[in-house]
Structure 1
Amino acid sequence: MSSRILVTGGAGFIGANFVHQTVRERPDAAVTVLDALTYAGDERSLAPVSGRVRLVQGDVADAALVDRLVAESDLVVHFAAESHNDNSLHDPTPFVHTNVIGTFTLLEAVRRHDVRYHHISTDEVYGDLELDDPAKFTPTTPYNPSSPYSSTKASSDLLVRAWVRSFGVRATISNCSNNYGPYQHVEKFIPRQITNVVDGVRPKLYGTGANVRDWIHVEDHNAAVWAIVDHGRIGETYLIGADGECDNRTVVETILELMGQSADAYDLVNDRPGHDLRYAIDASKLRDELGWTPRYRDFRSGLEATIGWYRDNEAWWRPQKDATEQKYAQLGR
């Protein structure tokens, strides 16, 4: 099924990996990528599959463009999003535009043309958990977003649910935990630390490093997305996670160790406002209903593979690095 696939945000981190995986595993698929190619979308991330993919540069909130592309598609997978918490605190405007208006624009197009739609979201819509709380997020956990980023993603999820119920749109939603892996922008936590160590710069750790994230390799995330597209129930929300809970201090110390450095060779910096304490995913619905299991069950091995990718692909991340660190320096982080 779904031989004509529109991937929004397909030049971004998770989207580009999804495109690579789709081209590799579904050779009969015709893939079109819609991406605004802002700082977080990089055409070079699609270079290895450029002969197999059509790239359209454009805004997901451009109704005429979106309508044309959706009309010629069997499936839309919506990755496009503004997704960096620090940036949302500085200027929420692009987050409302892309995450809310962009999703609305897509939903109206898939409604008109009766196209299957899958919506990529985040566990951050649920807020955070206490560090000593044994609970995990489930599909019925109440939304409690704490930043402009997570609140706009929560808004987009609610739009999808309403369009399913009110208009019969054939949609599913997935809320995933923190991703890591190849092609992730160096502003993000793990690639920032890896590239700092490559440059001989001590990693920076917010607060005391006690904040816990539930890490999943991007390839496992995208395999789960395909499981939902192929076998998930319309209107349902599936949480994607790999039981990868780890506090930020341990992540940095593991990176340093794997890169041959002293585990304490990092600096503590001021915490960011509203920094969520802990995320944790209960992915039992996905596993039980759809039979999905992660390939990278050991976070350390996935991290080692990711370090290897950044070491081998400096030409990809080097152009982004100086501007990213200048921005963090201005924030004192």
Structure 2
Amino acid sequence: MSVRRLAEPEFQPADFAFNKANAAAAKKWIAKYPKGRQQSAIIPLLMLAQDQEGWVTKAAIESVCDMLDMPYIRGLEVATFYTQYQLKPVGTRAHIQVCGTTPCMLRGAGELMDVCRSKIHPEQFHTNEDGTLSWEEVECLGACVNAPMIMVFKDTYEDLTPERLAEIIDAFEAGKGDTIEAGPQIDRFYSAPQGGFTSLADEKAVLKSTRAKATGVAKAAQVPPSKAARHKTDAAETNEAVQSPSPVKASAKAEKAAGTAKPSLDHKDRPKGIDKPTAVDDLKLISGIGPKNEAILHELGIYTFAQVASWKKAERGWVDAYLNFHGRIEREDWVKQAKALAKGGVAEYTRVFGKKPV
């Protein structure tokens, strides 16, 4: 890791001011904090400045500090501490941060840095000849189980090999970075084990409704049998005690019994499907839909955001039961997400939810 300092004076602009949209966003961030604590908005405001300029300038830090009525040194402390802030001009199409902490190093981060040296520049914080790419080594990026990984601006790319990183770099250099899906670059669901889920494969065991039913059955299983039902010999009673179901087993059976069968494909509440259109929406942009569930929805004839946005309550219930989701569609509000994406894509989603789809 290198010492983090501001860019040399010759790179620094004379002044900084938020544009109209970011000025409004800055006011909203400041308003989130109670009176006397507005300086806590320093982190999101510096990110707004970076989004606007491409990097955090000295003038931007001072301007943000003036807005928050805080000493310049406090703003400098924040900006120089967090590697999410770029203190010098970086690649216009991609600035690649390679995690160099132990888990990533053990799984090949050194080889990823070699790729950056060969395809971008031999040294960190230098752009390539076209000024489109740059790179640096950073501390933990927070997804150690998916090591090794990189971050490009706000998106992470995990489970990387040198070959895959080279492909990602080429895509960004060609201006096609948006064609690379962020997250694991192997067949892994978020941070689940590579071999698939090993525990809590479904949510019945932790849902309040099924847990309550299971508790009732478990209590019933603990009621001792009447004297008339008992065997006469001690040996028989011992055997009976061994064979009687334990509360844990009874609870497990109850949870299994509490599950519902997958609804029929001919059910009246099944959403109407369509033939596969020429332009298929990326349903994985909806939080809660991964590659596997997207494939299932395609089998059901669901290909567009508009279809999901139109689902009525009964249709949402049918899909939720078919996917064995136990209420996730309502909790994650697929319909609201789909409406935003159908209306204006990622930009509208970001405006509505305050973040990009993940």
| TM-score (normalised: structure 2) | 0.25
Greater C-alpha Rg? 2
Instruction: Give the structure with the higher percent strand.
Output: 1
| TM-score (normalised: structure 1) | 0.27
Higher relative contact order (CA 8 A, sep 6+): 1
